[in-house]
Amino acid sequence: MKPPQDRRPDAPSLLPRRRAPWVVRLYPPSFRERYGSELTALVEDLGPNRLVATDLLLGAVIAWLRPAASGQTAERRRRRLQASIATTWVAWCAGFLVAPTVTRMLDDPPVPNMTPLANHLLAISQVSWWIGGLVLLTATVPLALRSLPAALRARDRHVIAPLVPAIALCLAELGGVGAILLMRPSSPPAWSHPSAAFVGTLFAEGIGFFAFVLAAGLGPAISLTHAKPPARHMRLPAVLGTVVAAALAVTTVTSLGAVLLTQAAPLSILAVAVAGVSTLVALTSSTRGLKAVVARD
């Protein structure tokens, strides 16, 4: 069957045609290498609309969580390890704010119905948050040190470019913190507090922080998939990924317990909900990575 020659002008073209390839770019590089051209052609033939865009977005999420495993067994395993590490990283970045957010909402200042048990849960949440963060760094820093020098020498922009926004936003955030310190109540003393500049900087700092978390979550994951490190470099990070996922799960569950005990504000519940989804994603993906580590040919 030949695809239609006319582009169905009467079809609900709610998504501009030129944006279809952009949606396809959300798929993992390995998927795009294999199916990207066919997928783009099919979207063009069907006529892009919101349903197609939604279906593509869901397909992209599935492709990241369950990467196409065609090809040789060794390459399939390498892709599985790569996907697990990238997904666990993204999930941690999406969910790690739960502990500081809930602690801030419940304990600074303490809410009236704070109980000793809720306090204990917050303490456990913070300890597991630190453990998860340290294990994540232990897993990813050596992998970055092994992968990045070669990419820098080769000037591989596909590996380096995704990291640039996170680095730039990190520097901007540090500058913003410096500006807030300069504008705090005692400095300069002649200013009324809070001054418009102070409030504006604080607001920009908050927006910038979330942009930084987004860039720091997605950038390294995209960079990793382009770097294509060998499986032997990814075995330990994949094993440690399960520890990170478990730590995120403990952080989320204890935070949820504290929120329920104290009947805290909606923002805390939102943070716990985001962390809950992130935890499920991290546990699922890291378990698959662990299976790929222990599997035999």
Partner 1 sequence: MARRKQRLTWAEPSLFILHSLAEGPKHGYALVKDIEDREGVALGPGTLYAALSRLEAQGFVQALPGDERRRPYRITAPGKEALEDRLLAMTRFAETGLARLNVSPS
Shortest Å distance, C-beta 266 to partner 1? 33
Binds partner 1 (CB under 8 A): choice among 13, 21, 35, 274: 35
Q: Does 68 contact partner 1 by CB under 8 A?
A: yes
Using the minimum distance from each CB to partner 1, give the nearer residue, 95 or 289: 289
Binds partner 1 (CB under 8 A): choice among 13, 34, 231, 265: 34
Q: Interface with partner 1 by CB under 8 A: which range of 46-54, 124-132, 165-173, 287-295?
A: 46-54
Q: Does 37 contact partner 1 by CB under 8 A?
A: yes
CA distance 249 to 95: 10
Task: Give how far the C-alpha of residue 240 lies from the chain's centroid of Cα atoms, to the nearest Å.
Answer: 17
Shortest Å distance, C-beta 94 to partner 1? 21
Binds partner 1 (CB under 8 A): choice among 13, 40, 119, 284: 40
Q: Does 81 contact partner 1 by CB under 8 A?
A: no
Shortest Å distance, C-beta 64 to partner 1? 11
Q: Interface with partner 1 by CB under 8 A: which range of 38-46, 182-190, 191-199, 207-215?
A: 38-46
- Nearest Cα neighbor of 245 from 296, 205, 280, 270 is 280
Shortest Å distance, C-beta 84 to partner 1? 17
Shortest Å distance, C-beta 26 to partner 1? 10
Q: Does 51 contact partner 1 by CB under 8 A?
A: yes
Q: What is the rounded (10 degree) CA torsion for 135, 215, 61, 51?
A: 160
Q: What is the DSSP string of the chain?
A: -PPPSS--TTS---S-GGGHHHHHTTS-HHHHHHHHHHHHHHHHHH---HHHHHHHHHHHHHHHHS----S-HHHHHHHHHHHHHHHHHHHHHHHTTHHHHHHHHHHTTBPTT--HHHHHHHHHHHHHHHHHHHHHHHHHHHHHHHHHHHHHHHT-HHHHGGGHHHHHHHHHHHHHHHHHHHTSTTSSTTS-SS-HHHHHHHHHHHHHHHHHHHHHHHHHHHHHHHH---HHHHHHHHHHHHHHHHHHHHHHHHHHHHHHHHT--HHHHHHHHHHHHHHHHHHHHHHHHHHHHH---
Q: Does 38 contact partner 1 by CB under 8 A?
A: yes
Binds partner 1 (CB under 8 A): choice among 41, 74, 150, 154: 41
Q: Does 63 contact partner 1 by CB under 8 A?
A: yes
* # residues near partner 1 by CB under 8 A: 30
Shortest Å distance, C-beta 54 to partner 1? 8
Q: Does 263 contact partner 1 by CB under 8 A?
A: no
CA distance 11 to 123: 56
User: What does R_g of the chain's alpha carbons equal in angstroms?
Assistant: 23
Q: Does 74 contact partner 1 by CB under 8 A?
A: no
Q: Does 148 contact partner 1 by CB under 8 A?
A: no
Q: Does 73 contact partner 1 by CB under 8 A?
A: no
Q: Does 1 contact partner 1 by CB under 8 A?
A: yes
Binding stretches for partner 1 (CB under 8 A) = 1, 3, 31, 34-35, 37-43, 45-46, 51-52, 54-60, 62-63, 66, 68-70, 76
